[in-house]
Structure 1
Amino acid sequence: MENSTLSPVFFNDDCYPWLYETVKKEHYSKAFVIVDSNTAEYCLSIFLQQLHTDVPVEVIELEPGEEHKNIETCIQVWQTLADLGADRKSLVINLGGGVITDLGGFVASTFKRGIDFINIPTTLLAMVDASLGGKTGVDMGALKNQIGVINNPVAVLIDTIFLKTLPPEQIRSGFAEMLKHGLVYNKEYWYSVVALTNLTNDDLDIAIKQSVEIKNTVVKEDPTEKGIRKILNFGHTLGHAIESYFLENKNRNILLHGEAIAIGMILESHISMQQGLLSEEEYREIKTVLLSVFDKTLFTDKDIDAITELLIHDKKSEFGMPKFVLLTETGKAVINKTVDKVLINKAFSDYEK
């Protein structure tokens, strides 16, 4: 299933008038709000106070966390939708972070061959990345986003009031994707985000809008990720493998998505330097900035071997070879690069210094 029309994005005070008019105009039979227990506690009441509609509303609450982003949870939600009388004219509203928008979008895209859904991201990560661009899906075991479709929501509603409900580590997790947008597409944006020392001020609202514009510009040019959209995977080839490894390894604490991607961006920047694409000066700057935001993670040789093995399952792999996005300079990236395992090991060695 594929709907490559770019979704409109509404911010703050524009969100709820649009939602009211759209629900009224489309004559939806029912609205189903998908949340996890965190957004049920901290965000749901804020949203429901703004949802002025005569359409019957049901709330479907899920367990939080990446470990529940799987097909088993989808089956439960599909069954709940059926039990509650959802039909082709029902609307799904995904109120939550990246797990909820990814899974809820996939559930809506496949229930009765597809019903409308709206994403209302409540984390910084979801606002600048996960809720945008139409990627939906779930993990298969610890392997990230192996099952899914590209299908855009009716709209994305970004209300930054929800950021006040987040702990600092969740803000930092989203900050990683904003920094990524600068690294692969816009050097000036990179420096403006680096300058954001206070991540809860009005400047953050401006930076979020700029991040959304960058992602949507790239996605509009290449909705199905055949070319330039791949640059948005910078840091994700190794980052996803690291995230998966920590997810399935009970001896390691689970890393947030942004924490794993930050490590991936440092490693892939080092690989870019080793391949003669990126200057050492720019690599050192990138590493210094990211390590000023994210704590360093220690890896054993066994960890690195296991993470490297996971690369073969990366969904960007072709003919059994993982494909990397590498930097040629801050603000510019190249796609479809193969990388020798020796370079990966050297990148890990430098990361630990």
Structure 2
Amino acid sequence: MAMNPQKRATLKEVARLAGVSYQTVSKVLNGQVQLPEVTEARIWEAVRALNYTPNHTARSLRSRRSHTIAYCWAPTATGQANPILDELLQSMVQAAEQQGYYLLCFPNLPDPNRQREAYRELIDSGRVDGFILSSVEYEDPRILYLMERRFPFVAFGRSNPEYQFPSIDIDGGMGMLKVVRHLVERGHRRIAALTWPPESRVGANRISGFLQGLIEADIPPVPEWMERGEGVPSFGYQATLRLLKLPEAMRPTAIVAFNDAMALGAVRAAQQLGYRVGSDIAVTGFDDTPIARYTLPPLTSVRQPIWEVGERLVNRLIALLDHPEISSPYCELIEPELIIRASSTGEETPLDQDHPYLYP
């Protein structure tokens, strides 16, 4: 004889055991209310005692929601690590789980037609309630399509100024301005930049802060000191070799890399040519990836609060789903932090203890 599966505990049974209303239990499980510590402890004890798990299928039918958020990103090239993406994913998954949502990840397809079809299928099938976008660029077709469909989404990054949509972004311009101010305070006036191609939106934002710092210090930009290319160590290495082989009067004393990968290549090139990084030549990065504090010398870099960004993206989208009538499109800018280490000062710095990727 086939055995009947064990009966699933109900919300009302949990409420009865805890001595509260089932509405109160629901709000506690969904993080929508704060109760006295003793009451919450009693509710969670009842949940564990009855082995209660929410019936997501029934809840989805009632609310007409899938409780799934789609996240679209540009995959990292084979053989390249992306700790920023790893941290963002972990924070979004955790934030989504805390509110009873799942994260569905899929790649940003290079073919606009296939990309549009993927979005159309996810929307029309009801498989997702909203989207989170990253790697946002100018004229981004994903943003145009979602705005056209009036479908909920939040972006990590800005696009064209005329596009009005909810977004959260790191103020990369401010981060780069902090870098230039720091170098100027150290006495540098010949400051080179390793940046991305002109069409890069993130690169344009960071360049604006870099140039603002030069203007503040009354330093005219020099075209020979602006190197553009792919944000990988090999480009940083080759570009730095070119910069440090310029005539002495034109040779920069500081190199600002627009990400840590290029900065690592710059450090390697400078050391290969016999320069003492931090003393003879200053090098800075951007992102404060885990390796930054373990390089020789440790790398000055701009730290982005990526974990906080991931949480805010999820919470912002869920708030938009819950209250579409009061959510208005605006961009929330978050200021990054400059972490000063020996690569720009020549001075030994202690290992910072507050980074989420710090290894023992």
TM over 0.5: no
Using structure 1 for the length normalisation, give the TM-score.
0.32
Query: More helix by proportion, 1 or 2?
Result: 1
Using structure 2 for the length normalisation, give the TM-score.
0.32
